[in-house]
């Protein structure tokens, strides 16, 4: 058994994936737990990665649609990823496959 603290692992909440600071290293997928205050994230897209958001708390706008607690958004490769956190928001995000370099800022 291994034990970790989220704030001592990963990068910006990414704790599983294909990067050195991951607590579990795999090329199959990435997992992130993140808390964000109200802000607009950089608009981007992925060419090969599917990104899946589960909203735990708060509200966010993804591509002009509102999402709240218990809702899931799936962005397929090529989809625009335009996110605005409307308040303090907690999310779990899964990206598959794990390709940390597959992010194109628009």
pLDDT in tens, 54-95: 999 999 999 999 999 999 999 999 999 999 999 999 999 999
Q: Which residue has the higher pLDDT, 13 or 43?
A: 43
Q: Which CATH number fits domain 8-105: 2.30.110.10, 1.10.1740.10, 3.30.465.10, 2.60.120.10?
A: 2.60.120.10
Question: Looking at residue 23, what is its pLDDT?
Answer: 94
What's the pTM value of the predicted model, to 2 decimals? 0.93
Torsion angle of alpha carbons 10, 101, 41, 7, nearest 10°? 0
Residues 101 and 106: their CA atoms lie apart, in Å, by: 15
Q: In what order do the strands lie in the sheet with 80-81?
A: 80-81, 44-45, 104-105
Q: Indicate the domain borders of the chain.
A: 8-105
Residues 18 and 91: their CA atoms lie apart, in Å, by: 20
């Amino acid at each position: 058994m291994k034990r970790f603290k989220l704030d001592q692992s990963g990068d910006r909440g990414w704790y599983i994936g294909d990067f050195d600071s991951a607590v579990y290293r795999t090329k199959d997928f990435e997992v992130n737990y993140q808390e964000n205050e109200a802000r607009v994230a950089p608009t981007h897209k992925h060419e090969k990665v599917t990104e899946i958001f589960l909203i735990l708390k708060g509200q966010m706008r993804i591509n002009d649609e509102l999402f709240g607690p218990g809702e899931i958004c799936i962005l397929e490769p090529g989809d625009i990823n335009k996110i605005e956190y409307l308040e303090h928001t907690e999310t779990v995000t899964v990206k598959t496959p794990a390709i940390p370099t597959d992010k194109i800022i628009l």
